[in-house]
Amino acid sequence: MLINQYIDHTLLKPTATINDIKKHCQEAIKYHFYAVCVNECYVTLARNYLGESPVKVVATVGFPLGAMAAETKVIQAKNCILRGASEIDMVVNLGYIKSGLLDAVEKEIASIKKAIGNHVLKVIIETSYLTDEEKRLVTNLAIKAGADYIKTSTGFGTVPVTLDDIVLLKEVTTNKIKIKASGGIRDALTAKQFIQAGVHRLGTSSSIAIVTQKQ
């Protein structure tokens, strides 16, 4: 099992500098990670710095709260693709989910997917803030809206992702949509457990520690 090819090497802290992003990209190339995950302002830098390497650029949209207007998220997503992102990780509107505005949530996801075309869309549902029933509801909405992945967390939530979360999502997705686990994944054992549970991608800022630990 080549864990490195499951990893979106993630640097989303608000204080990340240009030099931090360059170093992050160097690490991704060295350790053969699948992608780097960065905020919108650094998409062009990351794409240019990665050059001809196979490492992809994942950009965040509506990050980390998900509470901006759907139209704003669409503009963000288009901009990230134009700047060189291959994939978009968007945060759903959690307040809308809690308010029962499910049609609006589905429409938002669908509009972003339409805007980015064949590029990969991952929908961040922030599992630590949702009930199990809400996790099921929003996952089904993402499937109906044409998203490619459900992603568990921004990494800024209150509780790390759990195996129970992955089991629940796996039951709902029934292989109609892929799963990205993120939020508190810091060691090789945890990463391996998530992969064995059916996760297709891992989002983590502890990527190097994970791939250099004895397994």
pLDDT digits (tens, 9 = 90+) for 133-155: 999 999 999 999 999 999 999 99
Span 112-130, mean pLDDT?
97
Tokens at residue 186, please? 């810091």
Dump pLDDT digits (tens) for 64-80: 999 999 999 999 999 99
89: CB partners within 8 A, 6+ apart: 37, 58, 59, 60, 61, 63, 122, 124, 151, 180, 203
Summarised one tens digit per residue, pLDDT across range 185-213 is: 999 999 999 999 999 999 999 999 999 98
What residue type is 65 in one-letter code? L
Torsion angle defined by CA atoms of residues 194, 7, 39 and 52, in that order, rounded to the nearest 10 degrees: -160
Q: What's the mean per-residue pLDDT of the chain?
A: 96
Dihedral-angle region of residue 32 (phi above 0 means left; psi in -120 to 50 means alpha; beta otherwise): left
Sequence-ordered list of residues with C-beta below 8 angstroms from that of 169, at least 6 positions apart, any chain: 135, 139, 150, 152, 179
Q: Is the pLDDT confidence value at 46 over 60?
A: yes
Task: Determine if residue 59 is left, alpha or beta; phi over 0 gives left, psi from -120 to 50 gives alpha, anything else beta.
Answer: beta
Structure tokens that stand for 143 in this block: 């499937």
Active site (catalytic) residues: 89, 151, 180
Q: Which domains does the chain have, with CATH numbers?
A: 3-212 (3.20.20.70)
